Chains A and B, each alone.
Chain A
Amino acid sequence: GENVEQHPSTLSVQEGDSAVIKCTYSDSASNYFPWYKQELGKRPQLIIDIRSNVGEKKDQRIAVTLNKTAKHFSLHITETQPEDSAVYFCAASGLGDQFYFGTGTSLTVIP
């Protein structure tokens, strides 16, 4: 089955700096890659997703890049704000629509 690895497990940045979280996957059949943000005690919320037919997608301060050849994808957050502090999960999905999640990155934005 699919194996998704996520790095780093913790990340601290100064407010206004950029944050980058990286994920790799093992199954070349995976073709949908969502990113979820989970605040303490709350449900995971989709923040951005990318499909295998594009290499990059941007939504305001958030962007995701995908390299299908290398089987890795990354989340980029620019101009970070304290409210960006949360745990971020990447996921990969293939033919069966079963999502395989990474182990999460705890992001802290220091004011």
Chain B
Amino acid sequence: ETGVTQSPTHLIKTRGQQVTLRCSSQSGHNTVSWYQQALGQGPQFIFQYYREEENGRGNFPPRFSGLQFPNYSSELNVNALELDDSALYLCASSSNPRAQETQYFGPGTRLLVL
């Protein structure tokens, strides 16, 4: 079992609200990537943080934002929630963003937007 943890496990919000999801990376890892996984689909890359700076971004609007802290834990913030934001949000940590190191996933946060 990996050391990546996420909170909360489940969340229900209404359209227009804001949400913050949290991720603690595995010990020794300085890189956190966030993914959105819609039902029946593969994970879609949102963005990556390396040493507290954004290190790449997928095709998601600016209302998806993030943060990485000095201990390398990370937050994903989503503003103005839409129904289509309902999904499993996964974070993955790795030890080096440039060497294609293995990414280890957390258990995910399941978000439902009503």
Interface residues in chain A, defined as those with a beta carbon under 8 Å from any beta carbon in chain B: 1, 4, 6, 31-32, 34, 36, 42-46, 49, 51, 89, 91, 93, 95-104
| 6 A/B residue pairs, CB under 8 Å, sorted by A | A43-B105, A43-B108, A49-B102, A96-B56, A97-B100, A101-B44
Interface residues in chain B, defined as those with a beta carbon under 8 Å from any beta carbon in chain A: 2, 4, 31, 33, 35, 40-45, 48, 55-56, 58-59, 90, 92, 94, 96-108
Interchain CA distance A104-B43 in the complex, whole Å: 9
Q: Are B101 and A97 closer than 8 Å at their CB atoms?
A: yes
Return chain B residues, CB-CB under 8 Å to A93.
100
Interchain CA distance A93-B47 in the complex, whole Å: 14
Return chain A residues, CB-CB under 8 Å to B100.
31-32, 51, 93, 97
Q: Are A98 and B43 closer than 8 Å at their CB atoms?
A: no
Return chain B residues, CB-CB under 8 Å to A42.
107
Task: Count chain A CB atoms within 10 A of each CB in B2, B45, B98, B101 and give the residue with the most.
Answer: B45
Chain A residue nearest to B99 (CB atoms) is A97
Interchain CA distance A51-B103 in the complex, whole Å: 14
Return chain A residues, CB-CB under 8 Å to B92.
99
Interchain CA distance A32-B55 in the complex, whole Å: 18
Q: Are B33 and A45 closer than 8 Å at their CB atoms?
A: no
- A44-B105, A45-B105, A49-B102 in contact; A97/B42 too (CB < 8 A)? no
Q: Are A89 and B108 closer than 8 Å at their CB atoms?
A: no
Q: Are A46 and B97 closer than 8 Å at their CB atoms?
A: no
Which 3 pairs of residues, A with B, have the shortest CB-CB distance? Answer: A101-B42, A32-B100, A97-B97
Return chain B residues, CB-CB under 8 Å to A104.
40-42
Interchain CA distance A32-B96 in the complex, whole Å: 13
B33 CB contact (under 8 Å) in A43, A46, A51, A99: A99
- A32-B100, A51-B100 in contact; A100/B45 too (CB < 8 A)? yes
Interchain CA distance A96-B98 in the complex, whole Å: 6
Return chain B residues, CB-CB under 8 Å to A6.
42
Quote the shortest CB–CB distance from B64 to chain A (angstroms): 15
